[in-house]
Amino acid sequence: KAPAAVIAQERERVATFEATLAKLRDQLQRLG
C-alpha cells in the first residue's frame, strides 16, 4: 500500500489538474 504522503501528493496533483480544467472550460465558454 502507498504511504499517506504519496496519497496526499497524488490528491493534490489531481486537485490542481481539476482546477486547471475548470479554468480552461470557463475560458472556452467565454470564447464560445
1-32 tens-digit pLDDT:
889 999 999 999 999 999 999 999 999 999 98
Distance from the Cα of residue 9 to its chain's centroid: 12
pLDDT score, position 1: 80
CA atoms within 13 A on the CB side of 12: 6
Task: Give me the pLDDT at residue 32, please.
Answer: 86
Look at residue 22 in the predicted model and tell me its pLDDT. 99
For residue 26, what pLDDT is reported? 98
Amino acid at 12: E
